[in-house]
Structure 1
Amino acid sequence: MTATPQAAMLFAAGFGTRMGALTKDRPKPLIKVSGRPLIDHALDLVDALRPLRVVANLHYRADQIADHLTGHDVALSLEEPRILDTGGGLRAALPLLGPEPVFTLNSDAIWAGPNPLKLLRDHWDPNEMDALLMCIPVGQALGHAGPGDFTQDSTGRITRGAGLIYGGAQIIKTDGLRDINEDVFSLNLLWDQMLRHNRLFALSYPGRWCDVGHPEGIDLAEGLIADV
């Protein structure tokens, strides 16, 4: 197993229902923040790592995203006839990604600070970890309500609880996907496997982060970019 993952998965298949009318005629990854589509902000983070393989999954308005990615070295994993959620989507993309651990990145967030994927790469330990999630302390997150998703101990291991928000970036081993019987499922099911074996870890992001999953997040994200 290589120390550094050589493949990255961009999640871009969702309906973007929280965006309301903004996603009536376009997919959420093509909504612009500071003049650029969200997926381009995500690609900047991925391209800085120069992975051997980059894959984006597509479903809603797939043709628009495929057209936008023309000229980029990104393989496309089309989900038809139904969307597969994050876990099912990652498993469907494995023939393109390969069997080794992969980076995954949501395409609906803006990061202000160090490249989260580089931080994950530098702290990844496949001997100890089945997944390493980039999480944001609640006080450093914009556009996200709630107490958080995870609680972290002194070793970096996490459990379900308050304090840290999952930011949508991680390194994850995909072996456990074969043990999940559902076709459509969230990566939470894979994380639950890892939690049972105390092999789910997180990094606490040192910068700021904005969820752009709803219309109000656009202005918040543009303000965050302007402050950098």
Structure 2
Amino acid sequence: MKQSPDAVMLFAAGFGTRMAPLTDHCPKPLIPVAGKPLIDHALALIKATNPARIVANTHYLPDQMADHLRPLGVSLSPEQPEILDTGGGLRAALPQLGNGPVFTLNPDAIWAGPNPLTLLRKAWKPDQMDGLLVCVPIAQTVGRIGSGDFDVNESGRISRGADFVYGGAQIVKTDELHDIPENSFSLNVLWDRMLQDGKLFALRYPGRWCDIGHPAGIGLAEDLLAQSDV
């Protein structure tokens, strides 16, 4: 089994309810930010790393997603009739992603700084890690509402906490997904297993990051991108 990831999973199936009314008739990943759909910002990061395969799950308004993604060389993992959440969605896409560790990326964030996928590839140590998550210090986030998700010690080991936000980019081994009985489940279920084994790590992101979880986040993201281009 390969030890380095060569496939990327894009999570694009969600309803985007917090972005309403913008998502009433448009999938959240297709909402424009700085002149192009949100998911195209994510695809630019992905294609810079030259993966062998890119797979996106779809559920809400899937025809719009398919029309946009297929011409861009992205394979689709449709979820019908049930949406499978991040863990179930990743497991369902494994036949297309292949064996071994994979990158995953959430398209609902804007990164101002180094490509997080490039940083992950350089930091990945498959003999020590089952998961490596890009985490952003709270002070470097824009548009984040609430506390963080994790704490990170000096060796990069992760624990549940509030000082770092999971940025939505990771490398993760997928073997244990097959041991989870639920059909629809969050990746948090997999992460908790890795936490118990001491195999979940964080990469501290050195740049800034904007959460586009609500309509106001679009303007914040565009301001962040404009500042980073100066």
Give the TM interval when normalised to the shorter protein.
over 0.9
**How do 1:32-181 residues align onto structure 2 when only pairs under 5 Å count?**
32-181=32-181
Question: 1-side partners of 2:196 and 2:29: how far apart?
Answer: 33
- Give CA deviations for 1:153-201 in whole Å, capped at 9, x if unaligned: 1210100012100000000000010110000100000000000000000
Q: TM-score of the superposition, structure 2-length normalised? A: 0.98
Secondary structure at the aligned position of 2:70 is classed as coil
Question: 1-side partners of 2:175 and 2:2: how far apart?
Answer: 15
Identify the residue that residue 5 of structure 2 maps to in structure 1: 5
1:147 CA drift (Å)? 2.3
Give yes or no for contact 2:55–2:97 (8 Å, CA) kept in 1.
yes
Identify the residue that residue 14 of structure 2 maps to in structure 1: 14
Identify the residue that residue 24 of structure 2 maps to in structure 1: 24
Equivalent pairs counted in the alignment come to 228
**Paired residue type of 1:93:** A
Secondary structure at the aligned position of 1:44 is classed as helix
Secondary structure at the aligned position of 2:20 is classed as helix
What is the RMSD computed on CA atoms of the aligned residues? 0.7
Question: 2-side partners of 1:2 and 1:70: how far apart?
Answer: 27
**Paired residue type of 2:181:** N
Question: 2-side partners of 1:86 and 1:121: how far apart?
Answer: 21
- Give CA deviations for 1:116-160 in whole Å, capped at 9, x if unaligned: 000000000000000000000000001112221101112101000
Give yes or no for contact 2:130–2:173 (8 Å, CA) kept in 1.
yes
- Unpaired segments of 5 or more residues in structure 1? none
Question: 1-side partners of 2:149 and 2:120: how far apart?
Answer: 18
Give yes or no for contact 2:30–2:39 (8 Å, CA) kept in 1.
yes
Question: 2-side partners of 1:159 and 1:170: how far apart?
Answer: 16
- Unpaired segments of 5 or more residues in structure 2? none
Q: TM-score of the superposition, structure 1-length normalised? A: 0.98
Question: 1-side partners of 2:146 and 2:17: how far apart?
Answer: 19
Percent of aligned positions that are identical: 64
Give yes or no for contact 2:11–2:106 (8 Å, CA) kept in 1.
yes
Give yes or no for contact 2:4–2:126 (8 Å, CA) kept in 1.
no
Secondary structure at the aligned position of 2:72 is classed as coil
**Paired residue type of 2:184:** V
